[in-house]
Structure 1
């Protein structure tokens, strides 16, 4: 049995692994394996190269992880990019890059994991940004909206099986991805997200982080569009 962290340099993934890794065999996958921090108290750890946009390699990455550490019982799909909204509005290649990493590659890897894993848990990451797309970050937000919908369907598919899907839906996360940006209301830190997920293990489904973010989300749905289009990130 092992833990596979895809996106092993991510803030949230690293914090979540810190809570789950003690005594476990761990496989850490990232574009640059040399930059992956050493997990704490893991029984064993292995590093492998993983390029999210190389969709054809996804199944081989999972197979390699199982060869190194045995059957995967926890898979954390933590890779992703925020991208540059302003650039994406005029650079179609960058818009497609964001969509590929944050949506297409996600559903590819989630499909492979759901097909490969016999039991255990998969942890995926949605975002409040996907709840209702905003003018300030609609490219990134649209990918999270699509990923969230995919995960809801996948969760229904897996219902009743021995494989659980957890869908973390945090608000603004203060970390390396958002460095230099002003925090939004109900902002959280990577450790907060990791702890909220661990607290919910055993109860698969969607996890609002923090919980009261669900109330803000309900309000977001009814804000008139003339006002909504001027909302900040």
Structure 2
């Protein structure tokens, strides 16, 4: 049995998990850990520019294309995936959706949850995804909520890097070496090219820049690509590090 932490990803839109956490997902899956992605929205309105430029495109057509792209990307990365179809621009998470996410958390019992930062002034859907993650995590931990189901433990919530980190107040606390799986992340990003192909180069270059930072912070010279994360809760240890 793998000792690599199991992972649940709460992605506001259908492509966010690929750009921001594709390396972490592939790395965990390659090490034998279960990884499951929950896409709150297909990103059909605000994050599918390329698809809407196609003649005769419809809302349902965009949703279907995004489902296919994201499913293909998840398969490349080694993760399972599901879509809640809660709309975007704006995203709406009602009580029923919250209850469903709580159920997913209790079913999966992840060790680590990956999601968005708390404050992204460019995209408030990301803020709601963050708040929804913390809210449902809290409920999933409550022994008195659906007592017949096993409660979630103290899953760490890692916030992945937003598109505009400086404006979002994002300060990296973990630089994750994704060099061994960067080819998989690249393949997964290319799966999303139909809707947001312009982001492939951006996140490829970002991976290189974070790799440089990782080396400057003590990583060996073999580290070429990295992803940045911020912890939500304190870590526990027996020595200073």
- Scaled by the length of structure 2, the TM-score of the pair is 0.43
Ranked by relative contact order (alpha carbons within 8 Å, sequence separation 6 or more), the top structure is 2
Q: Please report the TM-score for the alignment, with normalisation by the length of structure 1.
A: 0.44
Q: Larger strand proportion, structure 1 or 2?
A: 1
